[in-house]
Amino acid sequence: MDKRTRMLSIAKAAEMYQLSSTYIRKLAKCRKIHAVRTGVTGNGKILINAESLEDYLASAYLPSEENATEGIKRISAEL
C-alpha cells in the first residue's frame, strides 16, 4: 500500500474542492489544516496536506435548514 502523503498546491486544492484559494490559505495560516512552505527563503510555494483538508471539511459545521434564518430581520438600535 502506498503510504506517501498527498500534497496539493493551494490552487489545485481550491479547484478540486471548489473553494477559494484565499479560504484555503487562511485555513493553513490558522493551522486548521496541515501545510508546508517549500524553499529556503520562506517565499516558496505552500503545499496543503490533502487528507488534512478532507478531514477538516468532513468535520466542518453546516447549519441545518431548521437553524437557518431567512431574510432580513429588524433589530432595535438607538442612534
Q: Kindly report, residue by residue over 44-58, the tens digit of the pLDDT.
A: 899 999 999 999 999
The CATH number of the domain where 37 resides is what? 3.90.105
Tell me how many domains the chain contains. Answer: 1
| DSSP-derived secondary structure letter, 65 | T
Q: How confident is the model at residue 64 (pLDDT cuts 50, 70, 90)?
A: low
pTM confidence score: 0.68
Q: Is residue 78 part of a domain?
A: no
What is the average per-residue pLDDT within 21-40? 93
| DSSP-derived secondary structure letter, 11 | H
Q: How confident is the model at residue 3 (pLDDT cuts 50, 70, 90)?
A: confident
Calculate the average pLDDT of the chain. Answer: 83
CB crowding 11-50: b at 16 or more within 10 Å, else e: eebbeeeeeeeeebbebbeeeebbbeeeeeeeeeebbbbb
Residues facing residue 9 across a β-bridge: 47
